[in-house]
Structure 1
Amino acid sequence: MSVTEKEIIVPGRLTLAQLQRLCGTERVIVELDPACRAVVRASADLVRKATEGDAPVYGVNTGFGKLATTRIARDDLAVLQLKLLRSHAVGVGEPMAETVVRLILLLKAASLARGFSGVREDVIDTLLALHNKGVTPVIPCQGSVGASGDLAPLAHLCLPLVGEGEVFYQGQRMPAAHALERAGIHPIQLSAKEGLALINGTQVSTALALDALLATDRLFEATVVSGALTLDAARGSDGPFDPRIHAVRGQPGQIACAAAYRALMVGSEIRRSHLENDDRVQDPYSLRCQPQVMGACLDQMRYTTQVLVREANAVTDNPLVFAADGHMVSGGNFHAEPVALAADALAVAIAEIGAITERRIAMLVDTAVSRLPPFLTPEPGLNSGFMIVHVTAAALASENKSLAHPASVDSLPTSANQEDHVSMATFAARRLGAMLKNTAHIVAIELLAAAQGIEFLRPLKSAPALEGALRLVRSVSPAMMQDRSLARDIEAVHHLVAAGDIGRAIEAEIPELQALRLA
């Protein structure tokens, strides 16, 4: 993996655009704004002073969770923190994606660097060293309930700091101790509270949700393009995109989406060909109500963006250290309910994007509605055309409906009922990946179906912008006039959708489309 740039991060001031750069496949060298270091030192000094006193301080000289009433001897305070990491590293399942883990490292470092966690600079610097030298901790994807922080996954993230656990390094999975030696990173010895500060927090849930949000941004743009292309293939009307309709309702996402659909349709010969003598009065909802449905999804995405960017900048461990007034205060910022609810909102939006897209595919293959050849094939009967391709889209849309069930409404008490309400934010965010993959495949199928529909309307051309999208689709999938397996075609177009290539191919000439982007 190549290193392309250096990024200075200011704790508490990360933006979505900056997070998008840091989420990329290229490794970025990250440095902290030096201004944050004085408050980090003051916070760590307050914890050190607390260890010299006799007053009980949670997680500093006491046990954890239900064991908070157990006092720990002063000589055991450092080993307490090490044992905390070891005992909590009990995740199961496949490893999280390395891109997500790198983001978790950055979010954890940025949160600790706010100076309210009581850790030494060495801890933060070592987290950044792992990121900057490409040493990526292996984090099993299951095992967090999203309260008391993402305990198990963050323990796996942070064990390598002390030379334990496993990492990915230079394309191999290996013991952390070996990778640290090869990368020239010295393991640290934890001091009081540092283990607790490392595993308390919402950084795993937040990183998973942010990664999904940025992918949804790319998916959304492609879906608007595919919906406009389907409208033209079905010889639908752009009248429902009239700005007056959307202005009187006043929903911002709807207004923005309608503007994008209008811009995408400008110059379509197909649209001009049926402005007169078309006996259809209104199009099906899946065509006519695209701004209303997609606009509502966009508003959900924007809400999710606000919550997740705030959380990316938040301090979410416990207890918190307020060096300015010399106090350490126990609280519950580790509870990831904001992330869980935001992830659930995003899940519903992703499911709806897929649902309305599937309906447009169904409309295209139905000759009674689209007035195109049955199942988009010139010889129906001898050929099945897009019959079963639509079945695949229907299966994926149905699967998304189950996955969209809110995770945040489920809570199981843990830690002998001390932690009696949890958020399930980690699962809420993690399941978004499967939903995004499903929906991107549905959109890929729509692009193929719409492109096939346009073939029957030639030599008329669609709008110039949409013809650009068509060329991109046709660069990986030729028209299908005789049956063949479309499995590889679907995967090829899915890659274009997931990578953001569909939107990028035309957004420079359609500012209204670019205006839909979150970052």
Structure 2
Amino acid sequence: MTFRFGQDYLTAGIALQIARGERKATLTAEQREKVIANRKVVEAIVEKGDAVYGINTGFGPLCTTSISKEETKVLQSNILQSHSVGVGEPIETELAKLMLVTKMQSLSKGHSGINEKTLDRILWHIENDAIPVVPEQGSVGASGDLCPLSHAFLPLLGLGKVDYKGERITTAELFEKENLEPVALGPKEGLALINGTQFILSHAIKVVEKLHACLSQADIIGAMMVEGLQGSVKPFYSELHELRPYKGNIHVAARIKSLLEGSEIMEDHIDCDRVQDPYSLRCMPQVHGSSRNAWLHLKELVEVELNSVTDNPIVIDEELTISGGSFHGQPLALALDYACLAASEIGNISDRRIYLALEGNSPGVPKLLMKDTGINSGYMILQYTSAALASENKTSCFPASADSIPTSLGQEDHVSMGSIAGRKALRVIGNVEKILAIELLTAAQAFEFRRPLKSGVILDALHQEVRKHVSFAEVDRVFADDIEKGIEIIKTHKILDLAEEKAQESGVKFSSRFNELFEQY
């Protein structure tokens, strides 16, 4: 179904579908009328001559500087050029395209004074995958993501660079190839384009997607580890979690318990004398569940932001134009820092389970997960890598949003640093994917020592899937190769897809990714 910018409710999942070419998006005639009407209000303000910030005044500390009617257009072109001061590596093309998608949604609401033709050109870039090159550094996350958004919309003026058909070319080359001309920006348009939170928001969308995948896989891999080490199923009973009913805890406990049901491995030690397991096994509902709650919080705020107008000033009607602070990134900055911590904790407890598996304290599972040690180091050093990654993540958990450095000669005296929070969160999640890959290999190795006993339908199938890519290790080998294969399994969500498939085939009641509490993003 075609998405209608400015009219339909945008979610993180839909934004990703549009960015990936999986869903078409359009600007309807109805919404065009609203945009055109709002544009006429801006033109009337220019004709009338009353001072309105960003329309006929300078920007930031220059807000008291009047701009003549004749200079208002030059002002809009100048602001994109002067604010394009980004440094560092370019962000991923998908992130840059998400910036275009989310900006289209905000501008199409009809409160930004944007010109219909400008929206049509942005839509052309989305539809034709001519995506601006945007440096990763330069935004402080208030007064909008001024710097990266300026780079994102330089191509409207025929400036900057774009990724197009597998090449990185100048916009001038793009214009020549496609017979395009620069867009003539009118009053307020430049400011509308670069004011907003779309850099932060695009990173938050990716955090919603990638963190959710990590959380879903962490539950499954953790359940495999419970079986490999013959932990207890009782910590996952609903009777326990109904007495402390956090949404995330209930959800995780139910998922893990369903994975362990019907397992010969679990039945084999039902009368053992062990009273309770270490926290990394026993407290998965509490730890994974808390990170789930953080994810849900971010998802809810992202959806608010996706359907908001975040530039400045906001043009309500001919009588009311408001210079406010809807561009401030604080709502997402705080949530991204929370999500960053939540992601780090998933890697932290995963590393603890890896370490636990190596201790040799579980009956039948040898120390370092290999029988012939001494000449072989077994899985010892894989945990060094997971420890290094977990520690690196911990150093990234200081909240970016706790900092604020005044800019714009003090006019912008409190900023969110949400752009840094978003970049940092994605970096941490990337490390968590690697830690989970190592735990997956470790759990599969421990699992092997329970043979010939079988697990439940889903976990047995998942173990077989891992063995298609990584064989059981009887002696030392270059484990980096195994880890790379494990990372690929995690990044491509193979175990999630297989879990859903096996649950449907077997009739096992298992929510691999979503349920009524954690609906699809």
**Residue of structure 1 equivalent to 2:431:** 438
Per-residue deviation, residues 467-499 of structure 1 (Å, max 9, x unmatched)? 121122112111111100111211111122122
Structure 1 pair 330–469 and aligned structure 2 pair: CA distance change class (3 A):
same
**Residue of structure 1 equivalent to 2:259:** 264
Q: Secondary structure at the match of 1:167?
A: strand
Per-residue deviation, residues 418-459 of structure 1 (Å, max 9, x unmatched)? 100000000100112211110011000001001001111111
Retained in 1: the 8 A contact 2:131–2:162?
yes
Whole-Å Cα distance in 1 between the matches of residues 8 and 363 of structure 2? 52
**Residue of structure 1 equivalent to 2:49:** 54
- AA aligned to 1:297 is S
2:246 to 246, 251, 263: 251
**Residue of structure 2 equivalent to 1:96:** 91
**Residue of structure 2 equivalent to 1:497:** 490
**Residue of structure 1 equivalent to 2:327:** 334
| Two-structure CA RMSD over aligned residues (Å) | 1.5
Alignment of 1:201-220 (within 5 A): 201-220=196-215
Structure 1 pair 172–28 and aligned structure 2 pair: CA distance change class (3 A):
farther
Per-residue deviation, residues 271-291 of structure 1 (Å, max 9, x unmatched)? 011112x12100011101111
**Residue of structure 2 equivalent to 1:359:** 352
**Residue of structure 2 equivalent to 1:14:** 10
Whole-Å Cα distance in 2 between the matches of residues 370 and 183 of structure 1? 68
Per-residue deviation, residues 245-302 of structure 1 (Å, max 9, x unmatched)? 00011111111111101111111111011112x1210001110111111111111100
Per-residue deviation, residues 387-439 of structure 1 (Å, max 9, x unmatched)? 01001001101111111111100000001111000000001001122111100
1:119 to 91, 103, 114: 114
Structure 1 pair 157–27 and aligned structure 2 pair: CA distance change class (3 A):
farther
Retained in 1: the 8 A contact 2:15–2:101?
no
Retained in 2: the 8 A contact 1:11–1:111?
no
Percentage of pairs with the same residue: 40
Query: How big is the shift at 1:511?
Result: 3.2
Whole-Å Cα distance in 2 between the matches of residues 87 and 12 of structure 1? 34
Whole-Å Cα distance in 2 between the matches of residues 181 and 7 of structure 1? 30
Give 5+ residue unaligned stretches, structure 2: 504-508
Whole-Å Cα distance in 2 between the matches of residues 439 and 288 of structure 1? 20
Retained in 2: the 8 A contact 1:46–1:326?
no
* Pairs aligned (count): 512
Structure 1 pair 192–396 and aligned structure 2 pair: CA distance change class (3 A):
same
Per-residue deviation, residues 79-120 of structure 1 (Å, max 9, x unmatched)? 111010000001001111111111110110110000000011
Query: How big is the shift at 1:329?
Result: 1.2
Query: How big is the shift at 1:73?
Result: 1.8
1:292 to 286, 307, 316: 286
1:73 to 68, 72, 87: 68
Query: How big is the shift at 1:53?
Result: 1.8
Alignment of 1:406-421 (within 5 A): 406-421=399-414
Alignment of 1:455-470 (within 5 A): 455-470=448-463
Query: How big is the shift at 1:184?
Result: 4.7
Retained in 2: the 8 A contact 1:247–1:255?
yes
Query: How big is the shift at 1:326?
Result: 3.1
1:448 to 423, 441, 450: 441
TM-score (norm 2): 0.95
Per-residue deviation, residues 346-371 of structure 1 (Å, max 9, x unmatched)? 10110111111111001000113576
Retained in 1: the 8 A contact 2:230–2:362?
no
Whole-Å Cα distance in 2 between the matches of residues 15 and 64 of structure 1? 32
Give 5+ residue unaligned stretches, structure 1: none
**Residue of structure 2 equivalent to 1:86:** 81
Whole-Å Cα distance in 2 between the matches of residues 468 and 81 of structure 1? 59
Whole-Å Cα distance in 2 between the matches of residues 205 and 247 of structure 1? 37
Is residue 397 from structure 1 mapped to residue 390 from structure 2 by the alignment? yes
1:200 to 191, 195, 198: 195
Retained in 1: the 8 A contact 2:54–2:63?
yes
Whole-Å Cα distance in 2 between the matches of residues 169 and 72 of structure 1? 37
Structure 1 pair 181–11 and aligned structure 2 pair: CA distance change class (3 A):
farther
**Residue of structure 2 equivalent to 1:137:** 132
Query: Runs of 4 or more off by more than 3 Å in structure 1?
Result: 5-12, 26-29, 183-186
Retained in 2: the 8 A contact 1:12–1:314?
no
Per-residue deviation, residues 365-394 of structure 1 (Å, max 9, x unmatched)? 011357621111111111111101001001
Q: Secondary structure at the match of 1:280?
A: coil
Whole-Å Cα distance in 1 between the matches of residues 382 and 438 of structure 2? 7
Retained in 1: the 8 A contact 2:364–2:450?
no
Retained in 1: the 8 A contact 2:249–2:286?
yes
Whole-Å Cα distance in 2 between the matches of residues 511 and 193 of structure 1? 52
